[in-house]
Structure formats: C-alpha cells, structure tokens
A and B are shown apart, each in its own frame.
Chain A
Amino acid sequence: MEWKLNNGWNMSKIAINNVSKIFENKGIPFKSLDNINLKIKEGEFLCILGPSGCGKSTILRIIAGLDSPSIGEVLMDNEIITGPDHKRGMVFQEYSLFPWRSVIENVAFPLEMKGVAEDERYKIAEEYLKLVGLEKFKESTPYELSGGMKQRVAIVRSLAGDPEVLLMDEPFGALDIQTRNQLQKDLLKIWEDKRKTIIFVTHSVDEAAFLGDRVVVISKRPGKIVKTFDISIKRNRNRLDSEFMKLKREIYDFLESGE
C-alpha cells in the first residue's frame, strides 16, 4: 500500500478513468458520456456544471455505483467501484425521504442498517438534526416538511451513514432562490465541519461558483469535459463581490462561446 501514497497520480480519492457511457433508446445506441477523465482529491468540493441532458447525473450515478460505465473505470482509494456502498452517500434532486418513516427514523436509517442499537442511533440522528436546526421536527413525517427542510434532512441522513464522499445531484434544484442560497451556506458549513469530499452536480453557474473549489464544465451530448475552473476566492464568498462577479462572467462567457 505504501508505495501508492508516494505516487502523486494515486493520491486522488476518486479517479474517473476514460469513462464513456452508451445508452440504448429504442434499439438506437447513443453516447451519453465521452471519455471522461477526472480526479477528485480528498476533502475537495467539486462542482460539475452542465446543461440538462449532458450526462452529468450519469457521472454521479456511476461514481455512486448505481450505473456502470460502458468503457473505462472509476476508482475510489484505488479500488474499482462495482456497486453502491455507504462510503459514497448520495443526495438526489427528487425528494427521497421514506414517507413511511418519521424524520428521525429517516436519519437513523443508515445506522439501523449497520445494526446500531436503537437508543444509540436515535441519539446520533438527533445530533445530525441539530446540525441543520430541525431537531424540533424529529417526530414529523416527511410530507409535513417544506421542500428545503426535506433536502436538509436528506443531507444529514446521508451524513449519518458516515460516507467518505457525498454525491449531490442538483439537490437544491427544486427550491426557491432564498431557500437555495440558505441551504448552500448550510452545506458549506457542514462541509467545513465534517471535511467530506463533495461532488456536486448543478446547472447553475451561480451555485457552482459559490460552492466549488473547482468547477468542471461538461458539454452537451455526448457529455465531455470541456473546461475546468479552479476557484481561489476565499469563503465565505460574497455574491456581490467584484471578484465573484468576474468569475461568474468568465464562466458565462465560456459557456456562450463554447456552445
């Protein structure tokens, strides 16, 4: 194992190597992802930015192990990913809380699957709910919560599984702008606190620029990496700051020239 640590190219937490994905629609194959190569460092906050239908969600699903690549491979800690695993938690755009469980039972779910005793897992779940200010709603059912609250619970439910990597598939896409901005701030706080690696898919330039250490731009069909922006602006970023606006303009300019 040790020699690997000395090799720079092996240091990445997640490595996507030459990944292509071909789907079939009514017998006609089409390429959704074309030769994706990407390395993500441990603790990094990476945003994948692209228009809808560019296959950015597919990248995330392949990393999660919910889909497999047609060509290429994805490694986590130098091991090929073959299926889903609690080490890679995923937060979906669609509301995914189990409606037959209360809020706290939802957050305790991954602990229950691991066989953690009931008292213990409720104690842990409550801590996580406090993290997003929802401990008062622990006995509520998911349908009593607003959209933003649901996604907060979904995030801490993933965290309760103690993932090393958190995959987020446009989790704030269905929320209004104020809620969305608030959840972005909450997420950054959690990220700084828990130091997880986060891969965040979005079609919003603003969101990507606000959150990411790095923004990878994916082109439309077939999805290809066309540009990477390294973001050096310190957090907490201010949306009205000239540096931030300049960065956004740079990304917008690229998108408009590229398409």
Chain B
Amino acid sequence: MRKTLTAIIIPVLIIIGWSLLTSFNIIPEYILPSPSEVLNSFLGFLGTNELLIDTLATLSRVITGLIIAAAIAIPLGIIIGWSKKAEGLSNLTIQVLRPIPPLAWIPFAMLWFGLGFESAVFIIFIGTFFPVLINTIDGVKRINKVFVESAYTLGASQSQILTNVVMPASLPSIFTGLRVGIGIGLMCTVAAEMIAVKSGLGYLIMESMNLIDTGGVIVGMLIIGIIGFLMDYSFRKAEKKYVLWSGN
C-alpha cells in the first residue's frame, strides 16, 4: 500500500503541474492540451468503439509478432549458444542484420504483405526476434558448466541435456529477452501503424493529429504506455512463478 502511494506521487504532481500550466494559459492550448481536454477526447472515443478496436488491433499484432519471434528465436538461440559451429556460422549474419532498425523494413513489409495485419506483424517480428535471440544465446553460454557435466555423468544424452538442463537454466535470460522484445515490439507496432496500417493506436494517434485533436493524441500515447506497463508486469509475474530459483 505504501509502495503504491509512493509510486503515484510523481504522476499526481505531473497532472497538477500540467493543469496549472494549461489553465492559467502559461502554455497555450494549441501547444499542449489541458488534462480536461484529454479527458474529453477520451470520453469522445468511448462513445464509439474506436478506442477498444484500435487497442485490440495493436495488442493482437504485438502478441502475434512476439509469439512467432519467440518460437523461432528461442530454439535457434539455444542451438547457437550451445554449438561453436552454429555460432561461427551465424555470428556475422546476426551482427549485421541486428543493427538495422525494424522500421527500415517497412518498405519491404508493404511490398511483400501490403497494408495491414501481416505487414505490422512482420515488423514486430523483426523487432522482437533479435533481443530474444541474443539473450537466449547469452543465457546458454553463461550456464554453469557443472550442471551440464553433472547431467552427462547422470546418463543424459546431448538432446536430453538441451531440453532438461540448457533450456531451464537459460530461462531467466530468455525471459529478459522477451521483456525487452515486448517493449521494442510495441514501439514497432505503433510506428508501423502510423505508416503502413489503417488501424491500431498508432493510426489513432495520426488520425487525431490530422483532426487537430491533440487530446486524442495524448489518449493514444497514454494507452500505449499503460499496455506496455501491463505486459511487462504480467511477464514479471510469470517470471517469478516459473524461474523463482533465479533470484537465489
């Protein structure tokens, strides 16, 4: 309870300061809308289903992109982290592809998948794939050797070691990768929606801008922030549940 109170001190101060600055016209309305303006826009959105539909559109894209990226990046990362040969084979390619911003793929995403869901998912896939891959590789490489050697002397085969030792032992790093991935994925989605897709929170922000509804822009921004926070929070909960041991 005390923690929650501490946590909301700064948001409350920001809202108070923001209200004062805008209501006394120190900052004019066209530069920054007042909190009540934002609330008005929010209520306006609630009248239609627009906000809910856009939020769900963004969420479904992020989650689909992340699932596809994780399904490929985790097994691949385990193989690359485990096998020196696989690492030597793939390292240069990864290091060159990784720094390319996911948004630079937008032209090809539009060319290959057109405007819409697939395009956005592709961009999110690119954005989340590398953090998950790199963290998985790193996690596998940092596994305490004694776990692997113990497993060998207890009669485990290499494939049994990969699934029963390497996979669980690198789970904390995999979770870190997923959490970083979610953040990047959300950024990619919104950016992709601003350019290549005609729905979602990014699109909502651009539309509000076109209608000079600056309150609507802030509503979109805040919802993105809250989604990101909730996703990260649920991941941390899951992490606590499944990799409880990593804390000790």
Q: With A92-B146, A143-B248 known to touch, is A113 a contact of B155 (CB < 8 Å)?
A: yes
Assembled-state Cα–Cα distance A142/B169 (Å): 14
B153 touches A66 (CB 8 A): yes
Answer yes or no: A21 CB below 8 A from chain B CBs.
no
Number of A-B contacts (CB under 8 A): 75
B160 touches A64 (CB 8 A): no
Answer yes or no: A68 CB below 8 A from chain B CBs.
no
- Residues in B whose Cβ lies below 8 Å from that of A84: 149, 152-153
Answer yes or no: B24 CB below 8 A from chain A CBs.
no
Could you tell me which residues of chain B, from 12 to 52, have a CB within 8 Å of some CB in chain A? Answer: none
Task: Give a binary string over A124-151; 1 marks a CB under 8 Å from any B CB, 0 the rest.
Answer: 0000000000000000011100000000
Consensus secondary structure, chain B interface: helix
- Residues in B whose Cβ lies below 8 Å from that of A154: 150
Question: How distant is B144 from chain A, measured CB to nearest CB, in Å?
Answer: 8
A89 touches B153 (CB 8 A): yes
Answer yes or no: B154 CB below 8 A from chain A CBs.
yes
Stretch in A1-9, A24-32, A43-51, A93-101 touching the partner: A93-101
Task: Give a binary string over B150-171; 1 marks a CB under 8 Å from any A CB, 0 the rest.
Answer: 1111111100100011001101
Question: How distant is B157 from chain A, measured CB to nearest CB, in Å?
Answer: 8
- Residues in A whose Cβ lies below 8 Å from that of B146: 92, 94-96
Answer yes or no: A211 CB below 8 A from chain B CBs.
no
- Residues in B whose Cβ lies below 8 Å from that of A64: 149, 153
- Residues in A whose Cβ lies below 8 Å from that of B246: 99
B154 touches A158 (CB 8 A): yes
State the interface size on chain B (CB cutoff 8 A): 23
- Residues in B whose Cβ lies below 8 Å from that of A224: none
A66 touches B154 (CB 8 A): no
Could you tell me which residues of chain A, from 201 to 248, have a CB within 8 Å of some CB in chain B? Answer: none
Assembled-state Cα–Cα distance A84/B149 (Å): 8
Answer yes or no: B147 CB below 8 A from chain A CBs.
yes
Assembled-state Cα–Cα distance A42/B151 (Å): 24
Q: With A98-B168, A113-B164 known to touch, is A90 a contact of B150 (CB < 8 Å)?
A: yes
Residue of A nearest to B171 (CB): A100
Answer yes or no: B243 CB below 8 A from chain A CBs.
yes
Question: How distant is A108 from chain B, measured CB to nearest CB, in Å?
Answer: 10
Task: Give a binary string over B121-134; 1 marks a CB under 8 Å from any A CB, 0 the rest.
Answer: 00000000000000
- Residues in A whose Cβ lies below 8 Å from that of B150: 90, 92, 96, 98, 154
A113 touches B248 (CB 8 A): no
Question: How distant is B244 from chain A, measured CB to nearest CB, in Å?
Answer: 8
Some 11 contacts from A to B, beta carbons below 8 A apart, are: A85-B153, A86-B155, A90-B153, A92-B146, A96-B149, A98-B147, A100-B169, A109-B156, A110-B154, A113-B157, A158-B154
CB-CB nearest 6 A-B residue pairs: A86-B155, A84-B152, A110-B154, A99-B245, A90-B153, A143-B248
Other contacts beyond A88-B153, A92-B149, A99-B246: 12, CB < 8 A: A64-B149, A64-B153, A66-B153, A85-B155, A86-B154, A89-B154, A90-B149, A96-B149, A98-B169, A99-B245, A113-B154, A142-B245
